[in-house]
Structure 1
Amino acid sequence: MQIWNSLAEVPPAFGPTVVTLGNFDGLHKGHQEVLAQVRAEAASRHGAAVALTFDPHPALVHRPESAPEQIMGLADKLRAMEALGLDGVLVMPYNLEFAAQSPEEFVRSVFVETLGAVAVVVGQDVRFGRGNAGDLSTMVSLGADLGFDVVVVNEEGHDRRWSSTWVREALQQGDVSTALSVLGRAHTMSGEVVHGAARGRELGFPTANLSPDACGIIPSDGVYAGWMTDGAGHRWPAAISVGSNPTFIGVSRQVEAYVIDRPEEPVEAFNLYGQHVVVEFVQRLRGMVAYTGPEALIEQMHQDVSQARDILA
């Protein structure tokens, strides 16, 4: 998959293409339906399947004080798009100058002159151009004038429309099972493994601590069954703790993963410090509880690991 970070990076005469646009935060099932339609249309028209997305999220430019937390980082989003079979993604730098374009200026410069679009795939609620003045009828009219078809994705047939808002709501409640259902895969966080207080190791449960600047929404405090993929691509079952661990005083909020039934050898496989890892949240086991002391916590951790092992098996 080709990735372009500006209009100038798109090769001249790259088209024909079938294009869609959006923020694609989380790349949930609704997004996946749109991108599947893009791939199908591109195949039937002998063109390239391309998505246009924005960085930063437009809300961070227009209303930073109330912008929604991003479900996934840009790098993770691009990897997920590649896995869905796109030929190219244009990551458009989003700023006030770009946002000031009229709907026609935007469509003409990006879709027609740069990407050579023969079709544009959109949802019923598509908005674009200065002040979000462009809508579906605008896109259809521009398509007729500028020479591309508009394909509308049917989003009916679900009890609730797939949305990034739904995913955020679920994660804020620790309901990673619902998030998994909406996303079509487990919610993930990714980041560097950093040194912690080594308290897990002292208790017999050494954990990989994610850096505070890790990408992805942190679910609500609690213990989860999930997976951890290390920098070498090894994927391990894990019990994941999110929170400040109220059994101990002065512990800041953190995400840490304990690899279940890890083999004794090779030891170097678990020298994770400095590695970029991905943590997947599959199911919530319990909330965060303050125990009377380390012994009670250790007993609970054994129960957590046993339950996570059964779920992941």
Structure 2
Amino acid sequence: MTVFHRNETRDPLPAHLSGGVIAIGNFDGVHRGHQSVLNRALDIARERGVPALVLTFEPHPRTVFRPETPVFRITPAPLRARILEAMGFNAVIEYPFDLAFSQRSADDFIHSILKDWLGASEVVTGVDFHFGRGREGGPAFLMDAGDKYGFGVTLIDAFRDENADVVSSSRIRERLKDGDVSEAAGLLGYRYTVEAEVIDGEKLGRQLGFPTANMRLPPEVELKAGIYAVRFRLADGTLHDAVASYGRRPTVTDSGAPLLETYLFDFSGDLYGQICCVSFFGFLRPELKFDGLEPLVKQIKLDEEEARALLSGVQPLGELDRKICFP
């Protein structure tokens, strides 16, 4: 799959991608609500035999408007692109978003990007999508522009869960802040997953008999500190059941930035420098401070047993979850 980044969005679109169906949105999380938009775009593209593309924006507009409080991204751009690829899209366009772009008119956005650059044959988005200076562009504006410039417009209503509540990225963020990764998975349609480089650590886990792969997540991540049953995907795609600790390690240091430390079951090898993924299946307990290393080791053994038991019975939530979190 092709991913167009900042500089590439100024170049002509490859001919084989022109004239496609364009799904537009931020799609942070690629959750079940987003999937209702994205799957409709894929269906239309298949019916017509044309490419399916996603047009999204980087960085997240809320981070541009409020840089002092950057958004807790559920799926940073590289991970979001891989999920969209797993869904079947031909390309993802990460269009540069800044204050200057936010001041472009809605008509300019449609004419210069959707018509002249992408050659859109159909645009698919949610009914709440607004664009252009002062959010002047909305559903009616988009449909009128489609009539004017010759592309179709499909608007998708807000997706609601089994309790008739709207599925949203903000709702998922709140679940993750509470450590409720099971409910977050139900809203996402797959297990919450993070991606980062494995870095060198203090190697205390190795000394205790539980060597860990250590990752630093972005500072705006607000996942609840605690112990989780997880699956760890290596750079080569292989998966290992594991138990992970996210937090500041109060028994050992209780300082510094939060660290994700993952103990892979039945694995030995050097992971330093690899970009790996961790998918969260269950919250086991909060982060605790123990009175020394001996009770800590005892608890880690119990955590391992609980994680193994939980992971032994898990089943995919759907096709996307299977591709991300299962062998």
TM-score band, normalised by the shorter chain? over 0.9
1:187-222 Cα deviation digits (max 9, x unpaired): 112111112111111211111111x35598352110
Matched, 1:227 2:240: no
TM-score scaled by length of structure 2: 0.88
> Contact between 1:15 and 1:48, CA under 8 Å: does it hold in 2?
yes
Following the alignment from structure 1 to structure 2, what is the Cα–Cα distance between the partners of residues 67 and 213?
Answer: 14
Matches within 5 A, 1:232-243: 232-243=236-247
Matched, 1:247 2:246: no
Matches within 5 A, 1:1-313: 1-5=1-5, 6-12=9-15, 14-158=17-161, 159-210=164-215, 212-213=216-217, 217=221, 219-252=223-256, 253-262=258-267, 267=268, 270-313=269-312
What is the letter of the counterpart of residue 309 of structure 1?
R
1:105-153 Cα deviation digits (max 9, x unpaired): 1011111111111211111111011121111111111111111111111
1:78-114 Cα deviation digits (max 9, x unpaired): 1111111011221111122222211111011111111
Q: For residues 92 and 3 of structure 1, do their structure 2 counterparts lie closer, same or farther at Cα, with a shift above 3 Å needed?
A: same
> Contact between 2:28 and 2:169, CA under 8 Å: does it hold in 1?
yes
Following the alignment from structure 1 to structure 2, what is the Cα–Cα distance between the partners of residues 175 and 250?
Answer: 23
Give 1:23 deviation, angstroms.
1.0
Task: State the SS of the aligned residue for 1:27.
Answer: coil
Corresponding position of 2:318? none
Instruction: Tell me how large the CA RMSD over aligned residues is.
Output: 1.8
1:269-289 Cα deviation digits (max 9, x unpaired): x21112111111110000011
Question: How many residues of Structure 1 are paired with residues of Structure 2 in the alignment?
Answer: 306
> Contact between 2:26 and 2:60, CA under 8 Å: does it hold in 1?
yes
What is the letter of the counterpart of residue 224 of structure 1?
Y
> Contact between 2:57 and 2:94, CA under 8 Å: does it hold in 1?
yes
Identical pairs, percent: 35
Following the alignment from structure 1 to structure 2, what is the Cα–Cα distance between the partners of residues 156 and 189?
Answer: 24
1:215-263 Cα deviation digits (max 9, x unpaired): 983521100001111222221000000112222245532110001233x
> Contact between 1:120 and 1:149, CA under 8 Å: does it hold in 2?
yes
Task: State the SS of the aligned residue for 1:194.
Answer: coil
Following the alignment from structure 1 to structure 2, what is the Cα–Cα distance between the partners of residues 304 and 135?
Answer: 50
List gaps (5 residues or longer) in structure 1: none
Q: For residues 157 and 185 of structure 1, do their structure 2 counterparts lie closer, same or farther at Cα, with a shift above 3 Å needed?
A: closer
> Contact between 1:18 and 1:118, CA under 8 Å: does it hold in 2?
yes
Following the alignment from structure 1 to structure 2, what is the Cα–Cα distance between the partners of residues 213 and 307?
Answer: 25
Following the alignment from structure 1 to structure 2, what is the Cα–Cα distance between the partners of residues 104 and 249?
Answer: 55
What is the letter of the counterpart of residue 165 of structure 1?
S
Following the alignment from structure 1 to structure 2, what is the Cα–Cα distance between the partners of residues 83 and 156?
Answer: 21
Following the alignment from structure 1 to structure 2, what is the Cα–Cα distance between the partners of residues 184 and 66?
Answer: 27
Task: State the SS of the aligned residue for 2:158.
Answer: coil
List gaps (5 residues or longer) in structure 2: 313-327
TM-score scaled by length of structure 1: 0.92
Q: For residues 157 and 254 of structure 1, do their structure 2 counterparts lie closer, same or farther at Cα, with a shift above 3 Å needed?
A: closer
> Contact between 2:36 and 2:159, CA under 8 Å: does it hold in 1?
no
Q: For residues 277 and 14 of structure 1, do their structure 2 counterparts lie closer, same or farther at Cα, with a shift above 3 Å needed?
A: closer
Task: State the SS of the aligned residue for 1:31.
Answer: helix
What is the letter of the counterpart of residue 117 of structure 1?
A
Task: State the SS of the aligned residue for 2:107.
Answer: helix
Q: For residues 272 and 215 of structure 1, do their structure 2 counterparts lie closer, same or farther at Cα, with a shift above 3 Å needed?
A: farther
